[in-house]
Structure 1
Amino acid sequence: MDKIKTENTETEILKAAKEIFQQKGMAGARMQEIADKAKINKALLHYYYRSKQLLFEAVFKSAFSLLAPQLNKVLNDDSDLFEKIRKFTENYVSFVIKHPYLPNFVIQELNKNPEFVQKLRSEKNFPSIEKFKLQVSDAINQGIIKPIEAEQLFINIISLNIFPFIGEPLLMALVNVDKESYNKILENRKTEVAEFIINSIKI
């Protein structure tokens, strides 16, 4: 098969799969539907990806490969701790709004395929928090923030960013809003989460 044609076909498959997964999730997506969207037959789709799981992993890796360098850059740049929290949150929330299937996929994979996370960890640009940890320690020593373990702070940031996407149906019901209003809430969390975190730790 011609190399350029192969690359184009694979790109179209991933594009189609991303759209279907976003609309219907992993469980609701069908390989035939993805093949139709990519304008290829199902046999050719299976030539590239033997199963829906493998296709989903490919879509996830493709998206994660775009997100990971962004987060890694923020975590390891020279901005101060508060600005770093703001940039990390804005980048993360903005990305997940565009790729809403990612958080649920991470949870799903953690439960049934923990080895997949190890595969991701070996990828180039997998986020490192070592510099972030040093900055937290320095900020504590300088009396800028209250004592807190850097790992705890990072988990707090991730948790506050990710849960509104994972728990969307429940949270929409609890706060009694429609999808349009909830999307506005998610958009506002680009800044709300960072300011909440900063206000909770600064002296």
Structure 2
Amino acid sequence: MQKEKDTSTERSILEAAKRVFQNKGMDGARMQEIADEARINKAMLHYYFRSKELLFEAVFKKAFALLAPQLNAILNDDSSIEEKIKNFTTNYISFIIKHPYLPNFIIQELNRNPNFIEKLATNNGFPNIQKFKGQVRDEIEKGIIIPIGAEQLFINIMALNIFPFVAKPLIKAFANLDEGAMDALIEARKNEVSNFIINAIKIK
């Protein structure tokens, strides 16, 4: 009974923390606010998670564990490079819309702890691009896409998908967009990004 109670409390804390982090970000969130959101006292919160950083890391790992297998499945299925680009972009953007804190957290965590991703990479389901690299070589040889390094192509896909979330305030300021217009812009990128990359690499 005690074990089930502990699991339930931890789950409630993680869900509360996710909501606070989404609204306030890592720097703006306070442990007291998370405790209030989870309807527990601060001492109880510190019993489960000794610091805000550890709690943020736990929230991230839980969310990343949902995203990574989806992306890995796309990279390792039998679809064409064109379909992979479309599916990867759609899945990534859809997921980050629901978990907008993730891209900034990854950057923050890499700066704070460069070995963090190495730990994640040992988990089952962490994205692996070996099959993707082989498919890129095959489609180049068949004259479907232009000669391009698979790693470079993958970086292009990641960069175009990640940047709008990381630089959201900057983009809003440059383009003079309100929150609703920015959300619409992000949604439109599901097609914009994939079409841009495909048109850049596909042999006409």
**Bin for the TM-score computed over the shorter chain:** over 0.9
What is the rounded CA distance, in whole Å, between the counterparts of 1:33 and 1:112 in structure 2? 24
What is the rounded CA distance, in whole Å, between the counterparts of 1:19 and 1:141 in structure 2? 48
Structure 2 counterpart of 1:76: 76
Structure 2 counterpart of 1:110: 110
Letter of the structure 2 residue corresponding to residue 156 of structure 1: N
What is the rounded CA distance, in whole Å, between the counterparts of 1:112 and 1:168 in structure 2? 22
CA deviation digits over 1:84-109, x for unaligned, max 9?
A: 11000000000001000000001111
What is the rounded CA distance, in whole Å, between the counterparts of 2:111 and 2:57 in structure 1? 15
What is the rounded CA distance, in whole Å, between the counterparts of 2:131 and 2:180 in structure 1? 38
> 3-state SS of the aligned residue for 2:39?
coil
Confirm or deny that 1:17 pairs with 2:17.
Answer: yes
TM-score by length of 1: 0.98
Structure 1 counterpart of 2:145: 145
What is the rounded CA distance, in whole Å, between the counterparts of 1:84 and 1:172 in structure 2? 29
Structure 1 counterpart of 2:170: 170
- Report the number of matched residues: 203
Cα RMSD (Å): 0.8
Confirm or deny that 1:99 pairs with 2:99.
Answer: yes
What is the rounded CA distance, in whole Å, between the counterparts of 1:45 and 1:123 in structure 2? 27
TM-score by length of 2: 0.98
What is the rounded CA distance, in whole Å, between the counterparts of 2:138 and 2:175 in structure 1? 39
Structure 1 counterpart of 2:123: 123
Structure 2 counterpart of 1:135: 135
> 3-state SS of the aligned residue for 1:137?
helix
Letter of the structure 2 residue corresponding to residue 129 of structure 1: I
Structure 1 counterpart of 2:190: 190
Confirm or deny that 1:155 pairs with 2:155.
Answer: yes
Gaps of at least 5 residues in structure 1 are none
Letter of the structure 2 residue corresponding to residue 121 of structure 1: A
> 3-state SS of the aligned residue for 2:115?
helix
CA deviation digits over 1:32-64, x for unaligned, max 9?
A: 110010011111111110000000000000000
What is the rounded CA distance, in whole Å, between the counterparts of 2:178 and 2:7 in structure 1? 40
> 3-state SS of the aligned residue for 1:124?
coil
Give the Å deviation of 1:147.
0.5
Letter of the structure 2 residue corresponding to residue 33 of structure 1: E
> 3-state SS of the aligned residue for 1:180?
helix
Give the Å deviation of 1:8.
0.7
Give the Å deviation of 1:190.
1.2
Structure 2 counterpart of 1:180: 180
Give the Å deviation of 1:6.
0.8
CA deviation digits over 1:163-195, x for unaligned, max 9?
A: 000000111111111110000000111111011
What is the rounded CA distance, in whole Å, between the counterparts of 2:197 and 2:88 in structure 1? 12
Letter of the structure 1 residue corresponding to residue 159 of structure 2: S
Letter of the structure 2 residue corresponding to residue 110 of structure 1: L
What is the rounded CA distance, in whole Å, between the counterparts of 1:145 and 1:75 in structure 2? 17
